[in-house]
């Protein structure tokens, strides 16, 4: 059976990779119709719901025999673009070489779409139906450009079609080594994004007599230096607290000591853990004078600021002021999205923990937080009771190998892991909805 799931997931992923869904423009319709036909044939009730004809979202439901929780297997079928010149193989070939499937979307996230859909189809074809509750398979469009036609539109316009209690999506799952152990991350939280522009003002003048003017760009120097030298205070939330405990360094008071203990054992992992502990500030864009011979009267610095789940604007401003001080500049937020989280313990976590214990004895499941956001954030906002996790298990490639391939060239996945993930979705679905 395991062999069949791997082969079928691999074939479906090849078909999905060959359907170019680079967003923009997305053009997901052909891929969605293909998936819809497969799910319909297997016995699912299928709807294609879109703001536009070219970009339908797929909602497939397998009803149970009694009332119970709805488990949703969520994914997105659009991808970011690929520069074929930079790739060793054609990004839309879906070629399999030495047990590895190459193509845009293999990791993010057509591989998971293929594993979820193949698992759902295998269950339905075998005659299985939920004993209670329902199984939902939702494949959205437009995740890579913010979800306005995808998860955001769907949860706003068709909440009853996609309302769910438990949800599995992207965000974590590739194994990572730590201190002689094997860890599988389950993403339980997404950080918020509070991007802002800092503006300094001066007096324009001739660049040949610089001290007669007042250079706004030079007023950014102390601000940039402050970002380089200082970090905002930690704001520890439940997910990293639980993670640090699992890593053997429970937090007692200040998380700094726990973080340093992780760093001493594994500096790479510490680089992933540190952003989970609070607000991060990354200056990325500066602009000032339009002309080389004119002293700028105004300079702007753009900062990508990411915040712990649940943190609102007032607290973010306070953390920024700790680093930048409060004088000599004005600050304007250009994007404000509050992050969110699901509980670190739940029936869904128990099911994933049990599955990993059976499939990879000795390995452990740990909660993680993504420093970016996925459609899980949208579903948690729409359905506050929903427990939404990111989990796409892989063990042929570690998290440190898989993460850099996302949005980059030579994206690829081991076909053995496609079978591994499909088995996970099949087994966990049966366990949660009844055999
Ligand atoms: Zn993605």
Instruction: Output the pLDDT for position 252.
Output: 86
| pLDDT value of position 47 | 98
Q: In the beta sheet, which residues pair with residue 46? A: 60
Per residue in 38-95, pLDDT tens? 999 999 999 999 999 999 999 999 999 999 999 999 999 999 999 999 999 999 999 9
Q: 132-185 pLDDT, tens per residue?
A: 999 999 999 999 998 999 999 999 999 999 999 999 999 999 999 999 999 999
Give me ligand 1 centre to Cα 170, in Å. Answer: 6
Among candidate residues 28, 108, 143, 170, the one labeled active-site is 143
- Ligand 1 centre to CA of 373 (Å) is 9
Q: What pLDDT, in 10s, does the model give residues 203-224?
A: 999 999 999 989 999 999 999 9
Is 78 one of the catalytic residues? yes
What's the CA-to-centroid distance between 261 and ligand 1, angstroms? 31
Task: Say what the pLDDT of residue 1 is.
Answer: 42
Other beta carbons within 10 Å of 152: 20
Alpha-carbon span 193 to 271, nearest angstrom: 19
What pLDDT, on a 0 to 100 scale, did the predictor assign at position 3?
A: 83
Query: pLDDT averaged over the chain?
Result: 96
Q: Which of 78, 149, 190, 238 is catalytic?
A: 78
Cα 171 from chain centroid (whole Å): 4
pLDDT of 306 > 50? The answer is yes
Provide the token pair at 90: 């054609």
Q: Give residue 51 CA to ligand 1 midpoint distance, Å.
A: 20
More confident call, 2 vs 17: 17
- Residue-level pLDDT at 362: 96
| Residue 376 CA, ligand 1 centroid: distance in Å | 11
When pLDDT is averaged across residues 219-248 and rounded to a whole number, the result is 97
Split at pLDDT 50, 70, 90, the class of 2 is: very low
From ligand 1's centre to the CA of 411, what distance in Å?
A: 13
């Amino acid at each position: 059976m395991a062999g069949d799931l791997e082969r079928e997931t691999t074939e479906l992923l090849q078909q999905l990779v060959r359907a170019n869904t680079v967003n923009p423009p997305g053009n997901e319709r052909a891929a969605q119709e293909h998936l819809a036909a497969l799910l319909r044939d297997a016995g699912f009730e299928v709807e294609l719901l879109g703001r536009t004809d070219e970009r339908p979202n797929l909602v497939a439901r397998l009803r149970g025999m009694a009332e119970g929780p709805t488990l949703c297997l969520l994914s997105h079928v659009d991808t970011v673009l690929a520069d074929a010149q930079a790739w060793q193989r054609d990004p839309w070939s879906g070629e399999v070489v030495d047990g590895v499937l190459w193509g845009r979307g293999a990791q993010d996230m057509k591989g998971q779409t293929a594993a979820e859909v193949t698992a759902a189809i295998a269950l339905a074809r075998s005659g299985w139906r939920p004993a209670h509750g329902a199984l939902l398979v939702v494949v959205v469009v437009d995740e890579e450009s913010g979800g306005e036609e995808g998860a955001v539109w769907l949860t706003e316009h068709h909440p009853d079609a996609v309302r769910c209690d438990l949800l599995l999506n992207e965000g974590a799952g590739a194994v990572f080594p730590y201190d002689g152990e094997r860890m599988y991350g389950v993403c339980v939280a997404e950080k918020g994004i509070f991007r802002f522009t800092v503006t300094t003002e001066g007096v324009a003048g001739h660049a040949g007599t610089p001290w007669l003017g007042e250079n706004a760009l030079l007023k950014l120097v102390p601000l940039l230096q402050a970002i380089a030298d200082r970090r905002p205070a930690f704001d520890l939330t439940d997910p990293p607290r639980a993670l640090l405990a699992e890593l053997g360094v429970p937090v007692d008071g200040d998380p700094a000591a726990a973080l340093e203990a992780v760093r001493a054992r594994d500096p790479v992992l510490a680089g992933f853990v540190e952003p989970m502990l609070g607000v991060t500030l990354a200056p990325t864009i500066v602009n000032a004078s339009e002309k080389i011979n004119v002293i700028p009267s105004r300079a702007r610095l753009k900062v990508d600021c990411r915040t712990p789940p649940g943190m609102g604007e007032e607290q973010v401003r306070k953390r920024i002021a700790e680093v930048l001080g409060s004088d000599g500049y004005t600050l304007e937020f250009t994007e404000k999205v509050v992050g969110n989280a699901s509980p670190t313990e739940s029936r869904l976590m128990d099911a994933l923990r049990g599955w990993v214990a059976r499939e990879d004895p000795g390995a452990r499941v740990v909660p993680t937080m993504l420093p970016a956001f996925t459609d899980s954030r949208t579903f948690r906002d729409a359905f506050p009771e929903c427990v939404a996790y990111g989990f796409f298990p892989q063990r042929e490639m570690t998290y440190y190998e898989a993460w850099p391939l996302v949005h980059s060239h030579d994206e690829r996945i081991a076909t053995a892991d496609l079978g591994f993930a499909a088995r996970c979705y099949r087994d966990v679905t049966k366990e949660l909805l009844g055999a």
